Structure 1
Amino acid sequence: MSLVGLSTYAYFWRFSDQVEAPMSLEDMLRDTARLGAELFQICDYAPLALMSDDELAATRDLAESLGLTLEIGTRGTEPGHLLRFLEIAVALGATLVRSMWTSGDDRPTLDENVARLRRVMPGYERAGVTLALETYEQVSSADLVSLVEAIGSSCLGICLDPANTVARLELPAEVTARVLPHVVNWHVKDFDFTRKDGWVGFSLVGVPLGEGKLDYAGMLADLPATGKDGRAINRVIEHWLPWQGDPETTTRIEAEWTQHNLDYLKENTK
């Protein structure tokens, strides 16, 4: 059965240096369990790559004691980097690593990524860990599908996040339909457009689930129960919450969105 969980992006402001006392990874794990979520995705969390074996073991022990499943996330396809995150996943007992086509100035072509992933995927397959490449505005969903199909591994799939692709003028419904056979993970966040001051242009921003443009019900109905890796497609909550002017207001609203979105997913399931 699909698990409902939170990402570090659900705590984006609360663990940032914009607040006086940022939450630690342990704080986020404990809060995730307190809220009744089943999974936590440690995604784009810089300290993760620097953790020692003992720190990784302690994190795994804490998650297990809290009844949480772990997933992890990074960016890029450089083989040494992806293999390091495979080691981290194994140490944490995580069976999914989310990554992205690019990382900073590293912007490989399709052919370069095919060559890179052919070096990496045998290790993921032996370990039973799935690599999920995310849909986002830096790469077309068609190219992403081409890459996954060129590799042809059951342990290489796609992390669906159609909110990201709007900035590439790819409609969420079209992206979902295109990548559907390869989806192994789902980042769930709602979004909407708001007018800029003076009605000059728009901003694409996050909103609580059910209040924006995300067709959650339609996506849920279309997605299969399991991905190509044979595992359930877990639903991971993220936010695009703009800064609200001060730390107190921002962190309060972020916590409210997290609770609301978690309740929404639990109430709206197959």
Structure 2
Amino acid sequence: MKIGIGTYALFWEFSDRNPEPLGIAGMIDRAAQLGCDVFQICDDPRIEELDAHALRELRERAEILGLDLELGTRTIGRDHLARYLDIAETLGARTLRTMIQTHEIDAGPESAVTELRATVPRVESGDITLALETYEQVPTATLRGIVDALDSPRVGICLDPANCVSALEHPKDVVESCADRTVNLHVKDFAFARQEGWVGFTYSGAPLGEGLLDLDHELGAVYADGRSPSAIVEHWLPWQGDLSTTLAEERAWTDRTLAALRDWRSVHRPPASA
């Protein structure tokens, strides 16, 4: 079980509200400073602007710091995935996370299976695993069906039950449906809060342990039977009124989640062989 952070754990570090946003190299450095095993560059369009030399520099930086890199994007179009597989290979990233878009299953899940089949031979011949993320635009049962239909050891699920709540799917149901095909795990807590006047709700992130995520259930299901996907910390942290307060809170949430994951790993780590 490798533990790390992703771009969404540093959301406010590189937002437009930050006059000194972190670059990707700075994010890699931050992950190393936090003692992470892995850093996931996820939905960061800046990665597309880098040439092969710059990508190799990021790879070397991560290797020197003892970090694995992972990559994340969206959509399943074969040309787009081919481009991101090129980037992943240059980075040395062994996991590529992506998300099926609504229009890509308008004609039914079979159309997504057909499109993904064009990419499967490449991931199977290489050393990269494609992780399709759970989220509200694609019912979990549909996503699971697509993964099962592809039936490839190099295609699995990026599990994030928080994403599915807005589609009225229960987080525990999502975990149990996807655990045995999970190849990448996004870890963040989440909660509902009443809006002012008690009219409606806000659904957003929460400090780990204060929201609706049952972390023990999630980790117990995902890491059963010898499975070992990386666990990537993310957040949905609302703006806290000013940058310094928001950054301090974001960093505190990260520290708290990393500590909880490490504690769980230390308790459940398989005993060393004699």
Could you say which TM-score interval applies, normalised by the shorter chain? over 0.9
Deviation at 1:224, TM superposition (A): 3.2
> Secondary structure at the residue paired with 1:12?
helix
- Contact 1:39–1:68 at 8 Å: present in 2 too? yes
Give the residue type in structure 1 aligned to 2:148.
Answer: E
Q: List, as ranges, runs of 4+ consecutive aligned residues in structure 1 with deviation greater than 2 Å.
A: 105-109, 224-227
Partner of residue 13, structure 1: 12
Instruction: State how far apart, in whole Å, the 2-side matches of 1:113 and 1:135 are.
Output: 15
**Distance change >3 Å, CA 106–CA 143, structure 1 → 2:** closer
Superimposed CA distance per residue, residues 101-153 of structure 1 (whole angstroms, 9 cap, x where no aligned partner): 117x6555312111111111100111121000000000100000111111111
Partner of residue 241, structure 1: 237
Structure 1 residue 40 corresponds to structure 2 residue 36 = no
Give the aligned CA root-mean-square deviation in angstroms.
1.5
- Contact 1:9–1:43 at 8 Å: present in 2 too? yes
Alignment of 1:101-250 (within 5 A): 101-102=100-101, 108=106, 109-224=108-223, 232-250=228-246
TM-score (norm 2): 0.93
Deviation at 1:226, TM superposition (A): 6.9
- Contact 1:225–1:233 at 8 Å: present in 2 too? no
Instruction: State how far apart, in whole Å, the 2-side matches of 1:226 and 1:78 are.
Output: 33
TM-score (norm 1): 0.94
| The structure with more helix, counted as a fraction of residues | 2
Instruction: State how far apart, in whole Å, the 1-side matches of 2:33 and 2:180 are.
Output: 34
Instruction: State how far apart, in whole Å, the 2-side matches of 1:214 and 1:29 are.
Output: 27
Give the residue type in structure 2 aligned to 1:46.
Answer: P
* Runs of 5+ consecutive residues of structure 2 not aligned to the other structure: 269-274
* Runs of 5+ consecutive residues of structure 1 not aligned to the other structure: none
Instruction: State how far apart, in whole Å, the 2-side matches of 1:58 and 1:77 are.
Output: 27
> Secondary structure at the residue paired with 1:268?
helix
Superimposed CA distance per residue, residues 40-82 of structure 1 (whole angstroms, 9 cap, x where no aligned partner): 0000011112210001000000000111011100000000001
Instruction: State how far apart, in whole Å, the 2-side matches of 1:169 and 1:134 are.
Output: 17
State which drifts further: 85-94 or 106-115: 106-115
**Distance change >3 Å, CA 107–CA 142, structure 1 → 2:** closer
- Contact 2:105–2:112 at 8 Å: present in 1 too? no
Count of matched residue pairs: 265
State which drifts further: 193-202 or 216-225: 216-225
**Distance change >3 Å, CA 106–CA 245, structure 1 → 2:** farther
> Secondary structure at the residue paired with 2:119?
helix
**Distance change >3 Å, CA 61–CA 110, structure 1 → 2:** same
Structure 1 residue 251 corresponds to structure 2 residue 216 = no
> Secondary structure at the residue paired with 2:13?
coil
**Distance change >3 Å, CA 236–CA 197, structure 1 → 2:** same
Percent identity between the two aligned chains: 44
